[in-house]
Structure 1
Amino acid sequence: MRGPRYHCQIFYQDGLLLGFIFWWACGEQIYIEHLAINPALRGRNYGSRLLAEFCAREDKTVILEIDPPEDEIAIRRLRFYQGLGFCLNDYAHVHPPYHPDYQGHALRVLSYPGLLEEEAYQRFNQMLVETVMDHG
């Protein structure tokens, strides 16, 4: 994917790949589409450090989606993000389908540094449909 709103931040330390973040920028919002940490480094706080640095550097609202916290992995993921200051929004959110023949799926929206007002959530959802799902 390419476009002026789509970005990738790759993190290295002493030549070692730590991880990366793919995100979309739109106005005062940043949507993190993907965060990945080198599997050999997981559990060593690299994810926390990299995401905290990313959020501190950006002077915008940072938004991401996670699976509903219905199993142990999803609950741990929610706690991870909440530990970094992300807030769980209470909107009934359905991520649009990637293909017209598929259905959307329910996800939970997290935002940093605070909860999203209704208007901000609607802007995010519009950006998700019109920009992200349309590939920029």
Structure 2
Amino acid sequence: MTFLRITAEHPHLATIQTWYETSFPANERRRFDALRQLLPYSDMHLCALIDEDRLVGFIIYWQWPSVVFVEHFAIDPTLRGNQLGQRALDELLRIDSLYFILEVELPQDDIGRRRIQFYERQGFSLNPFPYAQPPYEVGNPPIPMHLLSIPIMPSQDEFDTISVLIKERIYERFYH
């Protein structure tokens, strides 16, 4: 599995846009034109996931000195169940970082429960502190979610510090 970082217009963006818009509800993602504007930012990584010379998915993550935050991650729907997601996360976890963090929906249905179980099988732990995904646009409400991490955050203070980092550097930083 190879991560092909995209920092400017690229032929894979059309397919990634389709997966992005069909895999995530509108209130849990940016407009794709707004995402394109973030491609040059050094801390934002939009990577095409390449396996055997073909595009199989994408991952969007943010990297800072002690935190890697996965904002969005999806595998081609026709290829799910082939361990591509597991292999992509294995590759991500090779990055030198104190924490790997991602947001996940509350487990209100089978899909939500299976998603959490998938990440737990990859070594992520559900942090027991309340969290809400900040809105992507001013005026929209936050969305109750969970933060999963490797390793689990040891305290409410650590959790709060990282939650503020995510809010400021991923969401509020790009409000229009």
TM over 0.5: yes
Does 2:92 correspond to 1:22? no
Structure 1: give runs of 5+ residues left out of the alignment. none
Aligned partners of 2:138 and 2:49: how far apart in 1? 35
SS at 1:49's partner residue? helix
Does 2:138 correspond to 1:116? no
Per the normalisation by structure 2, the TM-score is 0.71
Q: Could you tell me how far 1:88 is from its partner in structure 2?
A: 0.4
RMSD over aligned Cα atoms: 1.6
SS at 1:11's partner residue? strand
User: Which among 76, 84, 97 is matched to residue 122 of structure 2?
Assistant: 84
- Give matches, 1:1-136, under 5 Å: 1-2=38-39, 3-55=41-93, 57-60=94-97, 61-112=99-150, 114-117=151-154, 118-133=156-171, 134-135=173-174
Q: Could you tell me how far 1:89 is from its partner in structure 2?
A: 0.3
Higher relative contact order (CA 8 A, sep 6+): 1
SS at 1:108's partner residue? strand
Aligned length: 134
Structure 2: give runs of 5+ residues left out of the alignment. 1-37
Aligned partners of 2:70 and 2:52: how far apart in 1? 25
User: More strand by proportion, 1 or 2?
Assistant: 1
Aligned partners of 1:64 and 1:85: how far apart in 2? 12
On the 8 A contact 1:26/1:127 being kept in 2, the answer is no
SS at 1:50's partner residue? helix
Q: Could you tell me how far 1:135 is from its partner in structure 2?
A: 3.1
Q: Could you tell me how far 1:26 is from its partner in structure 2?
A: 2.1
Aligned partners of 2:140 and 2:50: how far apart in 1? 37
SS at 1:111's partner residue? strand
SS at 2:169's partner residue? helix
For residues 13-66 of structure 1, the C-alpha deviation after alignment (integer angstroms, 9 at most, x for no partner) is 2321121211011220111001111122111111111112211x1121110000
Per the normalisation by structure 1, the TM-score is 0.90
Runs of 4 or more, structure 1, over 4 Å off, are none
Q: Which moved more, 1:2-11 or 1:29-38?
A: 2-11
